[in-house]
Structure 1
Amino acid sequence: MNMYGVTGWKNAGKTSLMERLVKEIAGRGLSVSTVKHAHHDFDIDRPGKDSFRHRAAGAREVLVASDMRYALMREMQGEAPPTLEELLARLAPVDLVLIEGYKRDRHRKIEVWRAVTGAALIAPDDPTVRAIASADPVETDRPVLPLDDARAIADFILRDLGIGAG
């Protein structure tokens, strides 16, 4: 499965870039899925809903399904979190999986960097970072792509993976 990461430190603009990349690449007729790593407790469920009540009662997994979509929630209950590879194995085949976060994993990545965050670049210590997306001047040995140009970033990703016309 083709995959490419969007990484960077907090508040660099990763999610905004992911959203623009999904729209750009899907608009080219390619199928795209995403994986997002969260460093905190999160919940896609709401108190009072049946699925929330099932989990609160102790269900290990709750699958909510409709004619439009489904979601599977699993309570880890002390288990080790699944690896990125294990999560990817659960996805249906697509042309490209975009991965937000997982900065320590070894897949190819674009680093989103903004000077205002005050964070150092990840790229100098990570050869999997293939380019930097930034609106600020960056001193690096990697290509620097304009952060607001999803088309140019998508072209770079698709060319780097050898898929599509990118």
Structure 2
Amino acid sequence: MTRIIGLAGWSGAGKTTLMVKLLPALIGRGLAVSTLKHAHHRFDVDTPGKDSFEHRRAGAAQVMVASGTRWALMTELRSAREPTLRELLARMDPVDLVIVEGFKRDAHPKVEVHRAANGKPWMRPEMPGIVAVASDLPAPYDLPSVHLDDVDGVAALVLAHAAPIEAIDWAVRQEA
């Protein structure tokens, strides 16, 4: 059964830095872990001039690139709506744990990543699903908390608070 947890925080809080340290710690515990990252801007995983890029530019709805070491499926939304987190998760292979970076307004449980030097406000209670905190200063609310640099502590929070994807009430979502 795949479980889900998010890392939520404002830009510059250190979510990606924490993720890169957290993944080996969790995988080292024998877990199969996948990640899902939301981008707030246009992004491209392809390179202009490559065949796959040209296929998409010519109008292909989907382009798959495959080799002996990896494969990638690119889907062009064109005028279609952006898929929901739930829809994207349904397209992923089953693993022990999916860690989501972004989608902070969705209902899945999240560890708030907060860095004092960032100068941003705390996310809770405005954001749903904050169940724990990883920060370089004490949180202003009573939730399980560890220091941002304590990777093993964050791993323990993640494992303690991740929830089965099937148990998430996807109707709970805070609009931006």
In the alignment, the residues of structure 1 paired with residue 18 and residue 35 of structure 2 have an alpha-carbon distance, to the nearest angstrom, of 12
* Alignment map for 1:1-166 (pairs within 5 Å): 1-161=2-162
In the alignment, the residues of structure 2 paired with residue 162 and residue 96 of structure 1 have an alpha-carbon distance, to the nearest angstrom, of 9
Q: Deviations over 1:5-59 (max 9, x none)?
A: 0010011101111111111101111100000000000001011111111111111
* 3-state SS, counterpart of residue 123 of structure 1: coil
- How many residues matched? 163
In the alignment, the residues of structure 2 paired with residue 9 and residue 86 of structure 1 have an alpha-carbon distance, to the nearest angstrom, of 24
In the alignment, the residues of structure 1 paired with residue 36 and residue 83 of structure 2 have an alpha-carbon distance, to the nearest angstrom, of 12
Q: TM-score, normalised by structure 1?
A: 0.93
Cα 1:141–1:127 change in 2 (3 A) is farther
- Relative to structure 2, which stretch is displaced further, 148-157 or 129-138? 129-138
Root-mean-square deviation (CA, aligned residues, Å) is 1.5
In the alignment, the residues of structure 2 paired with residue 122 and residue 43 of structure 1 have an alpha-carbon distance, to the nearest angstrom, of 29
* Unmatched tracts of structure 1, length 5 or more: none
* 3-state SS, counterpart of residue 125 of structure 2: helix
Cα 1:88–1:162 change in 2 (3 A) is closer
In the alignment, the residues of structure 2 paired with residue 9 and residue 162 of structure 1 have an alpha-carbon distance, to the nearest angstrom, of 23
One-letter code aligned to 2:152: R
Q: TM-score, normalised by structure 2?
A: 0.88
* Unmatched tracts of structure 2, length 5 or more: 165-176
One-letter code aligned to 1:25: L
How much does 1:162 deviate? 8.0
Contact residue 104 and residue 127 of structure 2 kept, 8 A: no
Cα 1:33–1:11 change in 2 (3 A) is same
The percentage of aligned residue pairs carrying the same residue is 51
How much does 1:69 deviate? 0.8
In the alignment, the residues of structure 2 paired with residue 161 and residue 141 of structure 1 have an alpha-carbon distance, to the nearest angstrom, of 18
